[in-house]
Amino acid sequence: MNLQETHECPDCASPNIVHNQEREQIICRECGLIYEPLSPSTKPERAKPKAAPKKAKPKKRK
């Protein structure tokens, strides 16, 4: 869903919504829903961590 093109509440479909550009939120004044399509702060942990490529690295001892 594109935030900029959203003109009604995703929950109650009311057109009485406020766009918070700064926080990239849609706030519904009808039901009080705060819709965050890109909530970076509440992002869940990465399911797939970056797998480091295994290199055959010979250990050097001094």
Q: How far is CA 24 from CA 17, 21, 32, 58, 59, in A?
A: 13, 5, 16, 49, 49
Q: Which is nearer to Zn ion, 2 or 57 (CB)?
A: 2
Least gap, CB of 6 to Zn ion (angstroms): 11
Measured torsion, CA atoms of residues 56, 58, 59, 62, in degrees rounded to the nearest 10: -160
Question: What mask of x and - would describe binding to Zn ion in positions 2 to 41, judged by CB under 5 A?
Answer: -------x-xx-x-------------x-xx-x--------
Least gap, CB of 35 to Zn ion (angstroms): 8
